A and B are shown apart, each in its own frame.
Chain A
Amino acid sequence: MRAGENRVWLLHIAVVLVILALHFVLPPYHHGILARVMVLAILAMGYNFAFGYTGLLSLGHALFFGAGMYAMGLGITGLGLSPGIAVLFAIVCSVLVSAIIGSLALRTAGVSLMIVTLMFAQAGWYLILYFGEITRGDEGFVIPQAQRLVAGIDLADSNNRYLIALILFAIVLFTTLKLVRSSFGKALVAIRENEERAKMLGYNVFAYKLGAIIVSGTISGLAGAAYGLLFGYVGATFASVQYSILPLLWVLLGGASTILGPFVGTLFMTYLIDISSEFTEAYLLVAGVILVLLTLFARQGIVGEVKKRFAPWLP
Protein backbone atom coordinates (compact mmCIF):
# COMPACT_ATOMS: atom_id res chain seq x y z
CA MET A 1 0.00 0.00 0.00
CA ARG A 2 1.41 3.42 -0.96
CA ALA A 3 1.93 6.23 1.57
CA GLY A 4 -0.86 8.25 -0.10
CA GLU A 5 -3.20 5.29 0.28
CA ASN A 6 -2.40 5.02 4.01
CA ARG A 7 -3.05 8.73 4.45
CA VAL A 8 -6.51 8.42 2.93
CA TRP A 9 -7.53 5.47 5.12
CA LEU A 10 -6.08 7.06 8.27
CA LEU A 11 -8.03 10.26 7.65
CA HIS A 12 -11.34 8.42 7.37
CA ILE A 13 -10.60 6.25 10.39
CA ALA A 14 -9.80 9.44 12.31
CA VAL A 15 -13.13 10.99 11.28
CA VAL A 16 -15.00 7.95 12.61
CA LEU A 17 -12.99 8.03 15.87
CA VAL A 18 -13.72 11.74 16.33
CA ILE A 19 -17.46 11.10 15.93
CA LEU A 20 -17.15 8.28 18.46
CA ALA A 21 -15.31 10.58 20.88
CA LEU A 22 -18.01 13.24 20.45
CA HIS A 23 -20.48 10.79 21.94
CA PHE A 24 -18.64 11.00 25.24
CA VAL A 25 -18.02 14.76 25.09
CA LEU A 26 -21.19 16.33 23.75
CA PRO A 27 -24.34 16.84 25.85
CA PRO A 28 -27.20 14.36 25.24
CA TYR A 29 -29.12 16.90 23.12
CA HIS A 30 -26.56 16.49 20.34
CA HIS A 31 -26.66 12.70 20.41
CA GLY A 32 -30.05 12.65 18.71
CA ILE A 33 -29.04 15.26 16.14
CA LEU A 34 -25.77 13.56 15.28
CA ALA A 35 -27.42 10.14 15.02
CA ARG A 36 -29.91 11.65 12.56
CA VAL A 37 -27.08 13.37 10.66
CA MET A 38 -25.15 10.10 10.35
CA VAL A 39 -28.15 8.17 9.00
CA LEU A 40 -29.07 10.95 6.57
CA ALA A 41 -25.39 11.17 5.56
CA ILE A 42 -25.69 7.52 4.50
CA LEU A 43 -28.52 8.59 2.17
CA ALA A 44 -26.31 11.43 0.90
CA MET A 45 -23.36 9.05 0.37
CA GLY A 46 -25.63 6.80 -1.66
CA TYR A 47 -26.79 9.78 -3.70
CA ASN A 48 -23.21 10.93 -4.19
CA PHE A 49 -22.24 7.56 -5.66
CA ALA A 50 -24.65 8.09 -8.56
CA PHE A 51 -24.45 11.87 -8.86
CA GLY A 52 -20.92 12.76 -7.77
CA TYR A 53 -18.95 9.82 -9.11
CA THR A 54 -21.04 8.74 -12.10
CA GLY A 55 -22.61 12.05 -13.12
CA LEU A 56 -26.20 10.75 -12.93
CA LEU A 57 -28.45 13.59 -11.77
CA SER A 58 -31.41 11.87 -10.12
CA LEU A 59 -34.43 13.35 -8.40
CA GLY A 60 -35.75 9.94 -7.47
CA HIS A 61 -33.74 8.86 -4.44
CA ALA A 62 -36.72 9.37 -2.12
CA LEU A 63 -38.10 6.24 -3.78
CA PHE A 64 -35.07 4.18 -2.70
CA PHE A 65 -35.03 5.77 0.78
CA GLY A 66 -38.76 5.12 1.15
CA ALA A 67 -38.51 1.59 -0.28
CA GLY A 68 -35.91 0.63 2.33
CA MET A 69 -37.87 2.29 5.12
CA TYR A 70 -41.23 0.71 4.24
CA ALA A 71 -39.72 -2.73 3.51
CA MET A 72 -38.12 -2.69 6.97
CA GLY A 73 -41.19 -1.25 8.72
CA LEU A 74 -43.76 -3.50 7.05
CA GLY A 75 -41.35 -6.44 7.45
CA ILE A 76 -41.46 -5.98 11.23
CA THR A 77 -45.08 -4.95 11.77
CA GLY A 78 -46.70 -6.86 8.90
CA LEU A 79 -44.57 -9.95 8.33
CA GLY A 80 -43.34 -10.33 11.89
CA LEU A 81 -39.65 -10.28 10.96
CA SER A 82 -37.00 -9.56 13.54
CA PRO A 83 -35.31 -6.12 13.12
CA GLY A 84 -32.06 -7.60 11.77
CA ILE A 85 -33.86 -9.76 9.19
CA ALA A 86 -36.12 -6.82 8.34
CA VAL A 87 -33.08 -4.69 7.49
CA LEU A 88 -31.74 -7.49 5.25
CA PHE A 89 -35.19 -7.71 3.64
CA ALA A 90 -35.06 -3.93 3.08
CA ILE A 91 -31.65 -4.23 1.43
CA VAL A 92 -32.92 -6.96 -0.94
CA CYS A 93 -35.99 -4.84 -1.80
CA SER A 94 -33.75 -1.80 -2.43
CA VAL A 95 -31.56 -3.81 -4.80
CA LEU A 96 -34.64 -4.94 -6.75
CA VAL A 97 -36.27 -1.50 -6.86
CA SER A 98 -33.07 0.26 -7.92
CA ALA A 99 -32.34 -2.42 -10.57
CA ILE A 100 -35.82 -2.05 -12.07
CA ILE A 101 -35.88 1.76 -11.91
CA GLY A 102 -32.29 2.00 -13.13
CA SER A 103 -32.81 -0.27 -16.13
CA LEU A 104 -35.78 1.86 -17.22
CA ALA A 105 -34.55 5.35 -16.31
CA LEU A 106 -31.06 4.89 -17.78
CA ARG A 107 -32.56 4.79 -21.26
CA THR A 108 -32.53 8.56 -20.83
CA ALA A 109 -29.76 10.95 -19.81
CA GLY A 110 -29.22 14.45 -18.44
CA VAL A 111 -32.37 16.50 -17.78
CA SER A 112 -34.58 13.67 -19.06
CA LEU A 113 -33.07 11.30 -16.49
CA MET A 114 -33.81 13.84 -13.77
CA ILE A 115 -37.46 14.10 -14.83
CA VAL A 116 -37.94 10.35 -15.29
CA THR A 117 -36.49 9.54 -11.85
CA LEU A 118 -38.64 12.28 -10.31
CA MET A 119 -41.74 10.75 -11.91
CA PHE A 120 -40.87 7.27 -10.62
CA ALA A 121 -40.37 8.66 -7.11
CA GLN A 122 -43.66 10.53 -7.25
CA ALA A 123 -45.38 7.34 -8.43
CA GLY A 124 -43.85 5.52 -5.45
CA TRP A 125 -45.12 8.20 -3.08
CA TYR A 126 -48.63 7.99 -4.54
CA LEU A 127 -48.55 4.20 -4.19
CA ILE A 128 -47.84 4.59 -0.47
CA LEU A 129 -50.84 6.91 -0.15
CA TYR A 130 -53.04 4.73 -2.40
CA PHE A 131 -52.39 1.55 -0.41
CA GLY A 132 -53.12 3.36 2.84
CA GLU A 133 -54.68 0.30 4.46
CA ILE A 134 -51.28 -1.37 4.42
CA THR A 135 -48.98 1.64 4.70
CA ARG A 136 -51.21 3.82 6.92
CA GLY A 137 -51.00 6.48 4.20
CA ASP A 138 -49.91 9.99 5.05
CA GLU A 139 -50.11 9.27 8.76
CA GLY A 140 -47.46 6.55 8.69
CA PHE A 141 -46.92 4.14 11.56
CA VAL A 142 -44.78 3.74 14.64
CA ILE A 143 -42.57 0.72 15.24
CA PRO A 144 -43.18 -0.25 18.87
CA GLN A 145 -40.20 -0.11 21.21
CA ALA A 146 -40.62 -3.81 21.99
CA GLN A 147 -39.96 -4.60 18.32
CA ARG A 148 -36.81 -2.45 18.17
CA LEU A 149 -34.56 -4.79 20.10
CA VAL A 150 -31.56 -6.20 18.23
CA ALA A 151 -29.68 -8.93 20.13
CA GLY A 152 -30.94 -7.44 23.37
CA ILE A 153 -29.88 -3.91 22.40
CA ASP A 154 -32.71 -1.39 22.74
CA LEU A 155 -32.55 0.93 19.71
CA ALA A 156 -34.89 3.41 21.40
CA ASP A 157 -32.07 4.25 23.83
CA SER A 158 -30.25 7.37 22.60
CA ASN A 159 -26.78 6.01 23.41
CA ASN A 160 -27.43 2.77 21.53
CA ARG A 161 -28.98 4.70 18.66
CA TYR A 162 -25.89 6.90 18.36
CA LEU A 163 -23.51 3.95 18.35
CA ILE A 164 -25.56 1.86 15.90
CA ALA A 165 -25.86 4.88 13.60
CA LEU A 166 -22.07 5.33 13.82
CA ILE A 167 -21.42 1.67 13.01
CA LEU A 168 -23.68 1.84 9.94
CA PHE A 169 -22.16 5.18 8.92
CA ALA A 170 -18.65 3.75 9.21
CA ILE A 171 -19.55 0.62 7.22
CA VAL A 172 -21.01 2.70 4.38
CA LEU A 173 -18.15 5.24 4.55
CA PHE A 174 -15.44 2.59 4.18
CA THR A 175 -17.45 0.60 1.63
CA THR A 176 -17.90 3.64 -0.62
CA LEU A 177 -14.25 4.59 -0.10
CA LYS A 178 -13.20 1.11 -1.19
CA LEU A 179 -15.61 1.17 -4.13
CA VAL A 180 -14.58 4.55 -5.54
CA ARG A 181 -10.92 3.53 -5.33
CA SER A 182 -11.58 0.20 -7.08
CA SER A 183 -11.43 -0.31 -10.84
CA PHE A 184 -15.26 -0.16 -10.82
CA GLY A 185 -15.19 3.29 -9.19
CA LYS A 186 -12.50 4.54 -11.57
CA ALA A 187 -14.56 3.31 -14.52
CA LEU A 188 -17.54 5.30 -13.21
CA VAL A 189 -15.43 8.46 -13.02
CA ALA A 190 -14.13 7.76 -16.54
CA ILE A 191 -17.74 7.43 -17.77
CA ARG A 192 -18.72 10.67 -16.02
CA GLU A 193 -15.74 12.47 -17.58
CA ASN A 194 -16.14 11.17 -21.12
CA GLU A 195 -18.75 8.56 -21.89
CA GLU A 196 -17.82 8.17 -25.53
CA ARG A 197 -14.15 7.71 -24.73
CA ALA A 198 -15.01 5.07 -22.12
CA LYS A 199 -16.94 3.16 -24.77
CA MET A 200 -13.92 3.37 -27.04
CA LEU A 201 -11.86 1.63 -24.37
CA GLY A 202 -14.36 -1.23 -24.19
CA TYR A 203 -16.54 -0.22 -21.23
CA ASN A 204 -20.20 -1.25 -21.39
CA VAL A 205 -21.41 2.14 -20.22
CA PHE A 206 -25.03 1.09 -19.59
CA ALA A 207 -23.99 -1.84 -17.39
CA TYR A 208 -21.64 0.35 -15.34
CA LYS A 209 -24.28 3.05 -14.89
CA LEU A 210 -26.85 0.45 -13.85
CA GLY A 211 -24.33 -0.92 -11.36
CA ALA A 212 -23.87 2.59 -9.97
CA ILE A 213 -27.65 3.10 -9.60
CA ILE A 214 -28.01 -0.26 -7.84
CA VAL A 215 -25.19 0.53 -5.38
CA SER A 216 -26.56 4.05 -4.86
CA GLY A 217 -30.16 2.89 -4.44
CA THR A 218 -29.18 0.09 -2.08
CA ILE A 219 -27.19 2.43 0.17
CA SER A 220 -30.12 4.87 0.14
CA GLY A 221 -32.51 2.03 0.98
CA LEU A 222 -30.27 0.97 3.88
CA ALA A 223 -30.41 4.58 5.12
CA GLY A 224 -34.21 4.47 4.97
CA ALA A 225 -34.36 1.18 6.88
CA ALA A 226 -31.90 2.46 9.50
CA TYR A 227 -33.81 5.72 9.91
CA GLY A 228 -37.13 3.97 10.45
CA LEU A 229 -35.65 1.45 12.86
CA LEU A 230 -33.57 3.89 14.90
CA PHE A 231 -36.21 6.60 15.19
CA GLY A 232 -39.21 4.27 15.32
CA TYR A 233 -41.36 5.88 12.68
CA VAL A 234 -42.19 5.11 9.05
CA GLY A 235 -44.04 7.80 7.09
CA ALA A 236 -44.90 8.89 3.55
CA THR A 237 -43.03 12.18 4.04
CA PHE A 238 -39.77 10.26 3.73
CA ALA A 239 -40.77 9.13 0.24
CA SER A 240 -41.80 12.61 -0.90
CA VAL A 241 -39.83 14.79 -3.32
CA GLN A 242 -38.22 16.61 -0.39
CA TYR A 243 -36.09 13.54 0.29
CA SER A 244 -34.88 13.55 -3.30
CA ILE A 245 -33.86 17.20 -3.19
CA LEU A 246 -32.25 17.18 0.26
CA PRO A 247 -29.49 14.66 -0.55
CA LEU A 248 -28.68 16.66 -3.70
CA LEU A 249 -28.38 19.78 -1.57
CA TRP A 250 -26.23 18.05 1.08
CA VAL A 251 -23.93 16.62 -1.57
CA LEU A 252 -23.54 19.95 -3.37
CA LEU A 253 -22.86 21.75 -0.10
CA GLY A 254 -20.35 19.21 1.16
CA GLY A 255 -18.71 18.50 -2.18
CA ALA A 256 -19.85 16.15 -4.92
CA SER A 257 -17.41 13.39 -5.83
CA THR A 258 -15.74 13.48 -2.41
CA ILE A 259 -16.17 10.76 0.22
CA LEU A 260 -16.56 13.07 3.21
CA GLY A 261 -18.55 15.75 1.39
CA PRO A 262 -22.02 14.18 1.93
CA PHE A 263 -21.42 13.89 5.69
CA VAL A 264 -20.04 17.43 5.97
CA GLY A 265 -22.92 18.82 3.89
CA THR A 266 -25.57 17.03 5.98
CA LEU A 267 -23.87 18.10 9.22
CA PHE A 268 -23.52 21.71 8.08
CA MET A 269 -27.10 22.03 6.86
CA THR A 270 -28.59 20.39 9.95
CA TYR A 271 -26.69 22.56 12.42
CA LEU A 272 -27.16 25.70 10.32
CA ILE A 273 -30.93 25.33 10.64
CA ASP A 274 -30.72 24.20 14.27
CA ILE A 275 -28.54 27.11 15.39
CA SER A 276 -30.20 29.84 13.29
CA SER A 277 -33.65 28.78 14.57
CA GLU A 278 -32.47 29.59 18.11
CA PHE A 279 -32.05 33.26 17.19
CA THR A 280 -34.85 34.02 14.76
CA GLU A 281 -38.08 32.66 13.40
CA ALA A 282 -36.79 33.59 9.95
CA TYR A 283 -34.16 30.87 10.23
CA LEU A 284 -34.83 29.59 6.72
CA LEU A 285 -33.93 33.06 5.41
CA VAL A 286 -30.62 32.94 7.31
CA ALA A 287 -29.96 29.42 6.05
CA GLY A 288 -30.85 30.49 2.51
CA VAL A 289 -28.47 33.49 2.55
CA ILE A 290 -25.60 31.37 3.87
CA LEU A 291 -26.29 28.69 1.25
CA VAL A 292 -26.26 31.31 -1.51
CA LEU A 293 -22.93 32.67 -0.21
CA LEU A 294 -21.47 29.19 -0.09
CA THR A 295 -22.67 28.49 -3.60
CA LEU A 296 -21.07 31.72 -4.81
CA PHE A 297 -17.73 31.38 -3.04
CA ALA A 298 -17.29 27.62 -2.61
CA ARG A 299 -18.63 26.18 -5.82
CA GLN A 300 -17.01 22.80 -5.28
CA GLY A 301 -18.69 22.46 -1.86
CA ILE A 302 -16.90 22.58 1.50
CA VAL A 303 -14.78 19.43 1.13
CA GLY A 304 -14.49 20.04 -2.60
CA GLU A 305 -12.86 23.42 -1.98
CA VAL A 306 -10.49 21.92 0.60
CA LYS A 307 -9.58 19.27 -1.95
CA LYS A 308 -9.05 21.84 -4.69
CA ARG A 309 -6.98 24.28 -2.63
CA PHE A 310 -5.09 22.22 -0.06
CA ALA A 311 -5.47 18.45 -0.42
CA PRO A 312 -5.83 17.17 -3.98
CA TRP A 313 -5.25 13.64 -2.67
CA LEU A 314 -8.67 13.61 -0.94
CA PRO A 315 -10.89 10.93 -2.50
Chain B
Amino acid sequence: MLVLDKINAGYGSAQILRDVSLEAKPGEILCLFGRNGAGKTTIMKAIMGLVRTTAGVITLGGQNISRLRADQIPKCGIGYIPQGRRLFSELTVEENIEAGLLVSNGGQVVKQRVLDMFPPLKSRLDQQAGTLSGGEQQMLATARALAIEPKVLLLDEPTEGLQPSMIEQIRNVVVQMRDEGVAVILVEQRVDAVLSIANRVTFIENGYSRETLNASVLNSDKSLLDKYVGV
Protein backbone atom coordinates (compact mmCIF):
# COMPACT_ATOMS: atom_id res chain seq x y z
CA MET B 1 0.00 0.00 0.00
CA LEU B 2 2.53 2.65 1.18
CA VAL B 3 5.96 2.14 -0.33
CA LEU B 4 9.14 4.12 0.25
CA ASP B 5 11.72 3.41 -2.43
CA LYS B 6 15.28 4.59 -1.75
CA ILE B 7 14.28 7.85 -0.08
CA ASN B 8 16.83 10.56 0.70
CA ALA B 9 15.71 13.45 2.89
CA GLY B 10 17.03 15.95 5.42
CA TYR B 11 16.88 19.41 6.91
CA GLY B 12 18.59 22.05 4.78
CA SER B 13 22.05 20.83 3.90
CA ALA B 14 21.99 18.11 6.58
CA GLN B 15 21.02 14.81 5.00
CA ILE B 16 19.30 12.53 7.50
CA LEU B 17 17.75 9.71 5.44
CA ARG B 18 19.77 7.69 2.96
CA ASP B 19 18.23 5.15 0.59
CA VAL B 20 15.41 4.33 2.99
CA SER B 21 13.09 1.67 1.64
CA LEU B 22 10.13 0.08 3.36
CA GLU B 23 6.57 -1.04 2.74
CA ALA B 24 3.46 -0.81 4.91
CA LYS B 25 0.76 -3.31 4.01
CA PRO B 26 -2.98 -3.20 4.80
CA GLY B 27 -3.94 -5.03 8.00
CA GLU B 28 -0.39 -5.02 9.30
CA ILE B 29 1.67 -3.13 11.88
CA LEU B 30 5.15 -2.25 10.68
CA CYS B 31 7.37 -1.05 13.50
CA LEU B 32 10.35 1.25 12.92
CA PHE B 33 12.98 0.42 15.50
CA GLY B 34 16.28 2.10 16.19
CA ARG B 35 18.29 4.32 18.50
CA ASN B 36 17.44 7.96 19.19
CA GLY B 37 18.50 10.08 16.24
CA ALA B 38 18.46 7.16 13.82
CA GLY B 39 15.94 8.96 11.57
CA LYS B 40 12.61 7.32 12.52
CA THR B 41 10.70 10.59 13.04
CA THR B 42 12.24 12.05 9.87
CA ILE B 43 10.84 9.08 7.93
CA MET B 44 7.36 9.93 9.29
CA LYS B 45 7.81 13.60 8.37
CA ALA B 46 9.06 12.72 4.89
CA ILE B 47 5.93 10.61 4.31
CA MET B 48 3.75 13.52 5.49
CA GLY B 49 5.52 16.02 3.21
CA LEU B 50 6.88 18.00 6.14
CA VAL B 51 10.46 17.18 5.14
CA ARG B 52 11.26 17.38 1.43
CA THR B 53 12.66 14.25 -0.17
CA THR B 54 15.69 14.84 -2.38
CA ALA B 55 15.71 11.42 -4.03
CA GLY B 56 13.55 8.31 -4.22
CA VAL B 57 9.80 7.88 -4.50
CA ILE B 58 6.96 7.48 -2.02
CA THR B 59 3.86 5.81 -3.44
CA LEU B 60 0.45 5.16 -1.93
CA GLY B 61 -1.56 2.54 -3.75
CA GLY B 62 0.71 3.07 -6.76
CA GLN B 63 0.24 6.87 -6.80
CA ASN B 64 3.40 8.96 -6.39
CA ILE B 65 2.84 11.28 -3.40
CA SER B 66 6.45 12.47 -3.02
CA ARG B 67 5.79 15.90 -4.51
CA LEU B 68 2.43 16.65 -2.90
CA ARG B 69 2.10 19.54 -0.43
CA ALA B 70 1.85 18.65 3.25
CA ASP B 71 -1.86 19.58 3.36
CA GLN B 72 -2.61 17.27 0.40
CA ILE B 73 -1.13 14.14 2.00
CA PRO B 74 -3.92 13.58 4.61
CA LYS B 75 -6.47 13.84 1.80
CA CYS B 76 -4.83 10.75 0.27
CA GLY B 77 -5.73 8.86 3.45
CA ILE B 78 -2.65 9.09 5.67
CA GLY B 79 -3.16 9.98 9.33
CA TYR B 80 -0.25 11.03 11.54
CA ILE B 81 0.01 11.18 15.31
CA PRO B 82 3.28 13.00 16.00
CA GLN B 83 5.46 12.68 19.05
CA GLY B 84 4.32 15.04 21.83
CA ARG B 85 0.63 14.95 20.76
CA ARG B 86 0.44 18.56 19.53
CA LEU B 87 -3.20 19.29 20.19
CA PHE B 88 -4.91 22.60 19.53
CA SER B 89 -4.93 23.40 23.22
CA GLU B 90 -7.39 26.32 23.11
CA LEU B 91 -9.99 24.36 21.17
CA THR B 92 -12.30 21.96 22.98
CA VAL B 93 -12.12 18.18 22.73
CA GLU B 94 -15.03 18.16 20.28
CA GLU B 95 -13.49 20.91 18.14
CA ASN B 96 -10.18 19.03 17.99
CA ILE B 97 -11.95 15.93 16.69
CA GLU B 98 -13.96 18.01 14.23
CA ALA B 99 -10.68 19.50 12.95
CA GLY B 100 -9.84 15.99 11.74
CA LEU B 101 -13.21 15.56 10.02
CA LEU B 102 -12.30 18.11 7.32
CA VAL B 103 -10.59 15.47 5.23
CA SER B 104 -13.00 12.57 5.65
CA ASN B 105 -16.22 14.62 5.39
CA GLY B 106 -17.55 11.83 7.59
CA GLY B 107 -19.55 14.08 9.90
CA GLN B 108 -21.40 12.81 12.95
CA VAL B 109 -21.09 9.10 12.08
CA VAL B 110 -17.30 9.18 12.03
CA LYS B 111 -17.18 11.42 15.12
CA GLN B 112 -19.39 9.01 17.04
CA ARG B 113 -17.35 6.02 15.91
CA VAL B 114 -14.12 7.68 17.03
CA LEU B 115 -15.61 8.66 20.38
CA ASP B 116 -16.81 5.07 20.91
CA MET B 117 -13.16 4.01 20.75
CA PHE B 118 -12.26 6.46 23.54
CA PRO B 119 -15.19 6.57 26.01
CA PRO B 120 -13.43 8.90 28.52
CA LEU B 121 -13.50 11.68 25.90
CA LYS B 122 -17.30 11.54 25.60
CA SER B 123 -17.83 13.27 28.92
CA ARG B 124 -15.25 15.95 28.16
CA LEU B 125 -16.40 17.24 24.78
CA ASP B 126 -16.64 20.87 25.95
CA GLN B 127 -13.37 20.82 27.89
CA GLN B 128 -10.36 22.71 26.50
CA ALA B 129 -7.85 20.21 25.14
CA GLY B 130 -4.96 21.88 26.94
CA THR B 131 -6.52 21.04 30.31
CA LEU B 132 -6.67 17.26 29.72
CA SER B 133 -4.28 14.82 31.40
CA GLY B 134 -1.39 13.43 29.38
CA GLY B 135 -3.18 10.16 28.69
CA GLU B 136 -6.39 11.88 27.66
CA GLN B 137 -4.42 14.18 25.37
CA GLN B 138 -2.91 11.15 23.68
CA MET B 139 -6.37 9.64 23.29
CA LEU B 140 -7.57 12.88 21.71
CA ALA B 141 -4.57 13.11 19.38
CA THR B 142 -5.27 9.52 18.29
CA ALA B 143 -9.01 10.20 17.95
CA ARG B 144 -8.32 13.27 15.80
CA ALA B 145 -6.05 11.30 13.47
CA LEU B 146 -8.66 8.53 13.20
CA ALA B 147 -11.32 11.11 12.29
CA ILE B 148 -9.78 11.41 8.82
CA GLU B 149 -10.55 7.67 8.35
CA PRO B 150 -6.98 6.85 7.35
CA LYS B 151 -5.91 4.01 5.09
CA VAL B 152 -2.42 4.39 6.57
CA LEU B 153 -1.81 5.44 10.15
CA LEU B 154 1.55 6.76 11.35
CA LEU B 155 2.19 6.78 15.10
CA ASP B 156 5.34 8.28 16.60
CA GLU B 157 5.90 6.89 20.10
CA PRO B 158 2.22 7.09 21.06
CA THR B 159 2.66 5.57 24.51
CA GLU B 160 5.61 7.70 25.64
CA GLY B 161 5.13 8.92 29.23
CA LEU B 162 1.72 7.27 29.73
CA GLN B 163 0.51 5.17 32.64
CA PRO B 164 0.01 1.42 31.95
CA SER B 165 -3.82 1.57 31.72
CA MET B 166 -3.61 4.29 29.07
CA ILE B 167 -0.92 2.38 27.17
CA GLU B 168 -3.23 -0.62 27.06
CA GLN B 169 -6.12 1.47 25.74
CA ILE B 170 -4.02 3.09 22.98
CA ARG B 171 -2.56 -0.28 22.10
CA ASN B 172 -6.03 -1.83 21.76
CA VAL B 173 -7.12 0.90 19.36
CA VAL B 174 -4.01 0.43 17.22
CA VAL B 175 -4.67 -3.30 17.04
CA GLN B 176 -8.33 -2.63 16.20
CA MET B 177 -7.31 -0.34 13.33
CA ARG B 178 -4.96 -3.00 12.01
CA ASP B 179 -7.69 -5.62 12.21
CA GLU B 180 -9.96 -3.30 10.21
CA GLY B 181 -7.41 -3.29 7.39
CA VAL B 182 -5.49 -0.09 8.11
CA ALA B 183 -1.75 -0.14 7.38
CA VAL B 184 0.01 1.02 10.55
CA ILE B 185 3.56 2.34 10.83
CA LEU B 186 4.61 2.60 14.45
CA VAL B 187 7.72 4.20 15.92
CA GLU B 188 8.24 2.63 19.32
CA GLN B 189 11.20 2.43 21.71
CA ARG B 190 9.79 -0.15 24.11
CA VAL B 191 10.85 -3.63 23.06
CA ASP B 192 7.95 -5.40 24.79
CA ALA B 193 5.43 -3.16 23.00
CA VAL B 194 7.09 -3.80 19.66
CA LEU B 195 7.20 -7.53 20.03
CA SER B 196 3.63 -7.79 21.33
CA ILE B 197 1.81 -5.99 18.50
CA ALA B 198 4.12 -5.59 15.49
CA ASN B 199 3.82 -7.91 12.50
CA ARG B 200 7.13 -6.82 11.00
CA VAL B 201 10.01 -4.70 12.23
CA THR B 202 12.28 -2.52 10.10
CA PHE B 203 15.53 -1.51 11.76
CA ILE B 204 16.68 2.06 11.19
CA GLU B 205 20.34 2.91 11.75
CA ASN B 206 22.15 6.20 10.99
CA GLY B 207 19.51 7.20 8.48
CA TYR B 208 19.55 3.87 6.62
CA SER B 209 16.83 1.25 6.64
CA ARG B 210 18.50 -2.03 7.45
CA GLU B 211 16.80 -5.42 7.42
CA THR B 212 13.07 -6.01 7.87
CA LEU B 213 12.10 -9.08 9.92
CA ASN B 214 8.90 -10.74 11.02
CA ALA B 215 8.14 -10.11 14.70
CA SER B 216 7.92 -13.87 15.26
CA VAL B 217 11.59 -14.19 14.25
CA LEU B 218 12.57 -11.51 16.76
CA ASN B 219 10.49 -13.13 19.47
CA SER B 220 12.43 -16.33 19.07
CA ASP B 221 15.84 -14.64 18.73
CA LYS B 222 16.10 -11.42 20.72
CA SER B 223 19.83 -11.15 20.06
CA LEU B 224 18.93 -9.42 16.80
CA LEU B 225 17.61 -6.50 18.84
CA ASP B 226 21.01 -6.16 20.53
CA LYS B 227 22.58 -5.72 17.13
CA TYR B 228 20.70 -2.47 16.44
CA VAL B 229 19.78 -0.95 19.77
CA GLY B 230 21.92 -2.78 22.28
CA VAL B 231 19.06 -3.77 24.58
Q: Which residues of A contact B (CB under 8 A)?
A: 4, 183, 186-187, 189-190, 193-194, 196-205, 257, 312
Contacts and interface: CB of A to CB of B under 8 A. Distances in A.
A170 to B, nearest CB: 26
Which secondary structure dominates where chain A touches chain B? Answer: helix
Contact of A199 (B70, B89, B100): B70
B91 A186 contact: yes
Contacts of B73: 200, 202
A201 B103 contact: yes
B89 A190 contact: no
The SS class assigned to the B binding surface is loop
Interface of B: 48, 50, 69-75, 80, 82, 86-91, 95, 98-100, 102-103, 126, 128, 144, 148
B78 to A, nearest CB: 9
B167 to A, nearest CB: 23
Contacts of B86: 194, 196-197
Given A193-B90, A197-B86, A204 B99 contact: no
Nearest to B80: A200
B70 A187 contact: no
Nearest to B75: A202
A116 to B, nearest CB: 23
Contacts of B50: 196, 199-200
Nearest to B128: A312
Contact of B88 (A190, A202, A205, A312): A190
The 10 closest A-B pairs by CB, nearest first: A202-B74, A202-B103, A199-B70, A193-B88, A190-B88, A197-B86, A199-B71, A204-B71, A202-B75, A200-B80
Given A4-B126, A312-B128, A203 B102 contact: yes
Contacts of A205: 71
Nearest to A206: B71
B51 to A, nearest CB: 11
Contacts of A204: 69, 71
Contacts of A201: 74, 99-100, 102-103, 144, 148
Contacts of A312: 128
B99 A200 contact: no
Instruction: Name the residue among B75, B82, B88, B126 with the largest chain A CB count within 10 angstroms.
Output: B88
Contacts of B99: 186-187, 190, 198, 201
A200 B48 contact: yes
Contacts of B95: 186
Contacts of A196: 50, 70, 86
A197 B83 CA distance: 11
Contacts of A257: 90
A80 to B, nearest CB: 46
A166 B100 CA distance: 38
